[in-house]
Amino acid sequence: MAGSNDAGAPPRQYGITDPISLAGPVEADLQKTADLKKFLIEAGLYESSEESARREEVLQELDNIVKDWVKQLTSQRGYTDQMIEEANAVLFTFGSYRLGVHGPGADIDTLCVGPSYVNREEDFFIVLHEILSQTNEVTELQPVPDAHVPVMKFKFHGISIDLLYASVSLLVVPPDLDISQGSVLYDIDEVTVRSLNGCRVADQILRLVPNIENFRTTLRCLKYWAKRRGVYSNVTGFLGGVNWALLVARVCQLYPNAVPSMLVSRFFRVFTQWRWPNPVMLCAIEEDELGFPVWDPRKYHRDRSHHMPIITPAYPCMNSSYNVSTSTLRVMMEQFQFGNKICQEIDMNKANWSALFEPFQFFEAYKNYLQVDIIAEDDEDLRLWKGWVESRLRQLTLKIERDTYGMLQCHPYPHEYADPSRQCAHCAFFMGLSRKEGVKIQEGQQFDIRGTVDEFRLDISMYGYWRPGMELAVSHVRRKQIPTYVFPEGYRRPRPSRHINHQQQPDKNDVEDGTVTISPDGQIKRKHDSAGAYDSEPSRSVKRASISPVHQKTLSPPSGNIGDGTICNNQKKMASGASGESPTSLSNCNLERASCSSSPQESEKTLDSVASGSKCVAGETVYSGDAARERENCIPHVKNCTPPTVAVCTSLKRVAEKVVSELVGSESLGGNKSADLLERAEKDVGSVLVENVHFGVNGVVQSGLPEELEV
């Protein structure tokens, strides 16, 4: 078995530190591993041999297409017959397919590597795009040339393909090209480096784990767990496939002889105690004469703001999890605690594997939510419009954190919902709202994020491919108003009477009540200046002339329709109204305050960033402004409240006495200069305590874990 050592030989070190334990499995571990594999098979996580063969056929057909494409371009540009004969493109895979953990229906991440005279801008996104568009087996073709990693998305014989392109500095691309070699990066731009690195990272991960099969089973398990618990989504601010692969690979290095059941348990044990923002790395970060920037918080200020650095192992090493925010890190740490608790019960034979994969009851976890409804004329427009809006939802989370100084926390849920009873193309996303743990607040204090939501709407309106019918509505819903279509059974699930993990209990920080109100005129209004120190990106005050403004009908869904989700084209009539009154939306009501006390066991958690799950004690309702009017209008079904702009108002008990500082690490990473570097980091406002990472061939002494970790 990989990871075992010959007698007398020094144990091999995987990664940048010694392993935590070299212990192998006992009989009970082998039985639990067999039970785990059986569970994963029964959950449908493995594709059939027929589907595997079909994927191979599709990849072979695509390989033939790109080879013919390069030969065609070579001929058109007047190269010799020998050059035309030798002209070649090579197709690589990466992501879950390359790592061997893809499931039924999963897409295939592919990379086409072509010669230096075949470019991305015209040859790939115009010529090849035209070839694919005329191929009968290709559907849903969508070029995304402006993405961070430019990609062409489509379905080929019904199988989803994400196709990247990289032009390397070779006139002829050899069939056996090894893109793991550093020479492939010579004389190419950073976009091409990013395109190549997906494959380079996947190959490097497989080289750096002690046992590939154990790694695959463990990763397949934890990806499924992350999806069930709502923390699998890079675009939303959680972790995507490569992030989970890197975390699992690091645990495999720390326990090189462990089997999957042991690795799953150790995964949660390790990462409930990890001292973020200390980085997770599989190998030392290497500098190179090519000069591409690598992750280095000592040199780059932006790297200091990363909350959960997970570093890619291939040059140039970058943080793969830069999307993580303080709110999403908090949610993930709570889920790690849940996983750790269940695994402890499994180890003691008090629970089985199905308990670990119990779905997270998101709509029972909070009392207030933001609902983002996305509407388009047809399914094709909705697919494009939804992709744009979803890619910006993370910015809404960051802006709310910024504008409330981290005191109002968002939990974006990475699942989309649609009402099957609607006639229009529609989907909805939801965010849970709660106040930060331990914040002292003043009676009657409100968090007003009207300007924040306005800024988000303005960002959304910058979509360059806007078409008539693409509409957006942001509204507030209370837990009791959650539309029934979000529940799997099609009806509201009863509250479970049994005890569930603390992150599914009503949190003491839950906003007791709250509102989102929609601007009746659809204009962007700001309550405060967004250009302060907490801006995550510059505010845009003028829309491009080519983009249609966000209309009143889009931003003012009737309040009676928000709760049941019936926002559709018939709102266009309702927006003007026969009576001449302003269109209604959720009212600008006040919120019940809550007094909270921490649970004793929560104070024992290792990470300060983990929000505790204590109970909430409801107090009286607090009113502000015109109390009589608001008392009249703040009724469960909310009618006739039409303030001028979008708002979420959170009435809390006491105002915060000072700005809550950003999450920082509590420990240094070791090394001879650690004390000096730690002192410098503490003096640098906004920096994180990772400046004493050693870069170069000597590796990194990593101490994201406590000095004594139970093995």
| Residues with catalytic function | 96, 107, 109, 162, 223, 232
Residues 6+ apart with CB under 8 A from 523: none
Q: How far apart are CA 23 and CA 258, in angstroms?
A: 7
Sign of CA dihedral 91, 96, 97, 103: negative
Instruction: Give strand ranges (E) for 77-158.
Output: 90-94, 108-114, 138-144, 151-156
Q: How far apart are CA 618 and CA 189, in angstroms?
A: 57
Residue in the block written with tokens 């995964």: 267
- Cα 575 → chain centroid: 35
Q: What is the 3-state secondary structure (H, E, C) of 191-235?
A: HHHHHHHHHHHHHHHHHHCCCHHHHHHHHHHHHHHHHHCCCECCC
Alpha carbon of 10 to those of 3, 14, 122: distances in Å?
Answer: 12, 12, 55
Residue 311's SS3 state is strand
- Tell me 76's DSSP state: H
What would the two tokens of residue 12 be? 């091999």
Q: How many residues does the chain have?
A: 711
Residue 83's SS3 state is helix
User: CB–CB of 512/583 below 8 Å?
Assistant: no
- Tell me 122's DSSP state: I
Q: How far apart are CA 465 and CA 154, in angstroms?
A: 18
Alpha carbon of 462 to those of 385, 534, 678: distances in Å?
Answer: 12, 22, 42
Which of 421, 446, 517, 439 is closest to 477 using CA atoms?
Answer: 517
Cα angle 630-632-638, degrees, rounded to a multiple of 5: 85
Q: Which H or E run contains 376?
A: strand 368-376
As a dihedral over the C-alpha atoms of residue 532, residue 536, residue 541, residue 544, rounded to 10 degrees, the angle is: 170
DSSP 50-79: HHHHHHHHHHHHHHHHHHHHHHHHHHHTT-
Sign of CA dihedral 600, 603, 605, 608: positive
Q: Which H or E run contains 676?
A: helix 674-683
User: What residues form DSSP beta bridges with 653?
Assistant: 443
Phi and psi angles of residue 310, each rounded to the nearest 5 degrees, phi first:
-125, 110
User: CB–CB of 554/463 below 8 Å?
Assistant: no
Determine how many CB atoms are found less than 10 A away from the CB of residue 370. 26
For strands 108-114 and 159-167, give the pairing. parallel
Which of 230, 563, 551 is closest to 371 using CA atoms?
Answer: 563
Q: How far apart are CA 502 and CA 361, in angstroms?
A: 11
What would the two tokens of residue 702 be? 């990593």
User: CB–CB of 329/398 below 8 Å?
Assistant: no
Hey, what amino acid is at 137?
A: E
